[in-house]
Amino acid sequence: MKNFKFLYLLLAAVGVVAFTSCTEEWTPGPQDTNVGVYFPEVKNKYNVTVEDSSLTLAVSRVNTEEAASVTLRAEALNQEGEVVDFFSFPRTLEFAAGVADAELTFQFDGSQLVMGEEYTVVLQLDAEQASTYGTSECSFVVMIPEPWAAMGTGIYFDDLLADFFGNSDSFRGLGAYVEFEKNELNPNRVRAKNVYTESTLGTMWGGLPDWLGFTSQEDTYVEFDLTNPELVKAGYTMVFTDQEGNEYPACAYPLYMTYVIQGVTYDLFALVYDEDPIVFEDGIIKFPQNGVEMAAFYEGQYQGYIYLTNSSGYMQFYLPGVEFVNYDMEAVYDGMYVSADGTTAKAIFNFTLGSDIATYKFAFAAGDVTADPSSVAEAIVAGSEDLVIFESDAATKTWQVELTKGDYTLVAVPYSAEGEARLQDTYALHFDFFGVGEAPEAQAFVKATPVARSFAKANVAL
């Protein structure tokens, strides 16, 4: 784990505080005695066109008896944080006597805005004239949006938040349908719409915790650059530097959610390092197992990670056009059968087979190879004479196999109706076999590879 800038999230210190919301009694303060000027409503983003040249915002005040002139400070920044000179703002706002509202209109040269780039406008009303209770400072984005076209409906499978919610298996691998769009200027850029919203997540989980906040009521997107399928970028690119000066490139995208830790509200991001990247394969965007940080940001700055997530590896985005097939396998070691004369013993296995498995083969390897059964699986497919290989169609699911006492891994490979060996769906089960003369204790220890979702590429075109 890298150590950059820490939140000091010691569980003993944070305890219940980090996982519960709190309420306080509130009593209204004294009414503003100054002008009491404020912004009644400002959106997070304003989309414009190259032909546009101005935007108008509403400004209100509390005390309206007299005419008032309110000073305004304003600037516009590009994505590098540099002030740009093709925005111009008024220095003051004028309120007529008895009038509560005024308009703030600022100018810009739309022809100088780069399509797809965000320009941040920062506005600040005179602090001495500002309302104590209203918003007197704000920032928002002005941009010419890039053209995006609908791709269709895909699926998001979540394991970002299961660890966050107390390592609950009931949250792992839950899915929701989401809409996808592709960039008309660069088809390798795609985005999923409204993934992390109250509606999508509430439907997925059957309810939401009250301590989780959402920051946007508008459409939100998770954008991916699939140019390099082995190094997919999501959201913003970042580079972290540790104490020794080593650099760690990463990408992070906002979840549009907030989380309160010891009274401070943080914005939540998903963060992935390039050394264990997001990949794109067969129409699926796959996040690294145990490689996604639930990261906390404050005022746009990375503060540290809260949890390392995606422990199951189920966090994936399925693009429209992915066809689902089921080559999942699972075997249960159900103990052993000892012959009447006590000279031989057979291990009993019951298989559960996915609906698209036509045939399957399996063999036994000594010891525990569940961490990487690929070499055994390849030997099975090659018909290695070093293995005793068992084979059947999907109708046979129960086996009694004669074994001597020992520590084994059962490695099984499913086959399609076309005879294709599905090595990517290899299944492995580690078990201890007691053999003849020992107490037939079933499943003394059993460890299996997780059953992964199967899929096949079908009509996924960017």
- Better-scored residue on pLDDT, 165 or 123: 123
Residue 349 has a pLDDT of: 94
Query: Taking residues 144-154, what's their average pLDDT?
Result: 93
User: 151 pLDDT exceeds 60?
Assistant: yes
pLDDT value for 294: 86
Assigned superfamily of 37-143: CalX-beta domain (2.60.40.2030)
Specify whether the CB–CB gap between 153 and 179 falls below 8 A: yes
pLDDT digits (tens, 9 = 90+) for 289-302: 999 998 888 877 78
DSSP class of residue 324 equals: P
Cα separation of 241 and 341, whole Å?
69
Q: Which of 26, 33, 173, 50 is nearest to 115 (CA)?
A: 50
18 pLDDT tier (thresholds 50, 70, 90): very low
Comparing 322 with 161, the larger pLDDT belongs to: 322
- What does the alpha-carbon distance between residue 300 and residue 141 come to, in Å, rounded to a whole number? 14
| Residue 445 pLDDT | 37
Angstrom distance (rounded) from CA 214 to CA 122: 22
- What pLDDT is attached to residue 455? 42
Ranges of beta strands (E only) in 262-300 are 264-273, 279-281, 284-286, 292-298
pLDDT attached to residue 29:
57
Q: Where are the beta strands (DSSP E) in 339-405?
A: 345-353, 359-366, 390-393, 398-402
pLDDT of residue 336: 86
* The two domains 37-143 and 329-448 share their CATH topology (first three levels equal): yes
**pLDDT of res. 208:** 72
HSE-up of residue 116 (Cα within 13 Å, Cβ side):
9
For residue 329, is pLDDT > 60? yes
Q: What is the pLDDT of residue 168?
A: 60
pLDDT digits 0-9 by tens, 118-146: 999 999 999 898 888 888 898 999 999 88
Q: What is the pLDDT of residues 57-72, one digit of tens each?
A: 999 998 998 999 999 9
Cβ neighbours around 387 below 10 Å, total: 17
439-461: pLDDT as tens digits? 333 333 344 444 444 444 344 55
- Give the pLDDT of residue 166: 56
Domain residues of the chain, as ranges?
A: 37-143, 147-318, 329-448
Query: Residue 219's pLDDT is what?
Result: 86
For the chain, what is the total number of helices (H) and then of strands (E)?
3, 31
What burial class does residue 34 get, using C-beta atoms within 10 Å of its C-beta: 0-12 exposed, 13-18 middle, 19+ buried? Answer: middle
Residue 218 predicted with pLDDT over 80: no
pLDDT confidence band for 435 (50 / 70 / 90): confident
CA distance 285 to 30: 54
111: pLDDT strictly greater than 90: yes
Span 3-18, mean pLDDT?
Answer: 28
If one compares 376 and 219, the residue with the highest pLDDT of the two is: 376
Q: Of 160-169, 233-242, 316-325, 349-358, where does the model show the most confidence?
A: 349-358
Q: Distance between CA atoms of 272 and 233, rounded to whole angstroms? A: 9
Q: Which token pair is 9?
A: 């999230």
Categorize the per-residue pLDDT at 170 as very low, low, confident or very high, splitting at 50, 70 and 90.
Answer: low
Helix (H, G, I), strand (E, B) or coil at 462: coil
What average pLDDT does range 16-35 have in this prediction? 48
pLDDT at 7: 32
Alpha-carbon distances, residue 288 vs 115, 271, 398 (angstroms): 32, 11, 35
C-alpha radius of gyration, the chain, whole number? 30
> Do the beta carbons of residue 107 and residue 85 sit within 8 Å?
no
Report the percentage of the chain scoring pLDDT > 90: 50
- Check if the beta carbon of residue 216 is closer than 8 Å to that of residue 198: no
Task: Let me know if domain 329-448 sits in CATH 3.30.70.240.
Answer: no
Which DSSP helix (H) or strand (E) runs through 432? strand 427-433
Q: What is the pLDDT of residue 54?
A: 96
The residue with greater pLDDT, 403 or 198, is 403
In this prediction, residue 421 carries a pLDDT of: 96
Question: In which band, very low, low, confident or very high, does the pLDDT at 77 lie, cut at 50, 70 and 90?
Answer: very high
- Is pLDDT at 391 greater than 50 in this prediction? yes
From residue 230, how far is each of 225, 233, 284, 403 by CA, in Å? 11, 10, 12, 42
Cα angle 439, 444, 449 (rounded to 5 degrees) comes to 150
More confident residue, 323 or 81: 81
**pLDDT tens track for 236-254:** 888 888 788 888 899 998 8
CA–CA separation, 76 and 98 (whole Å)? 32
Enter the tokens of residue 446. Answer: 């059993």
Highest mean pLDDT among 103-112, 234-243, 330-339, 436-445: 103-112
Res 20: pLDDT: 29
Please write the tens of the pLDDT for every residue from 275-284: 999 999 989 9
Q: Whose CA is closest to 233, among 194, 187, 280, 268?
A: 280
For residue 294, list its beta bridge partners. 270, 307
Nearest CA to 453 among 328, 275, 355, 345? 328
Tokens of 439: 């107490």
Which range has the top average pLDDT, 22-26, 130-134, 205-209, 417-421? 417-421
Identify which has the larger pLDDT, 228 or 1.
228
pLDDT of residue 319: 95
The CA-based diameter of the chain, rounded to the nearest angstrom, is: 108
pLDDT for residue 285 is more than 80: yes
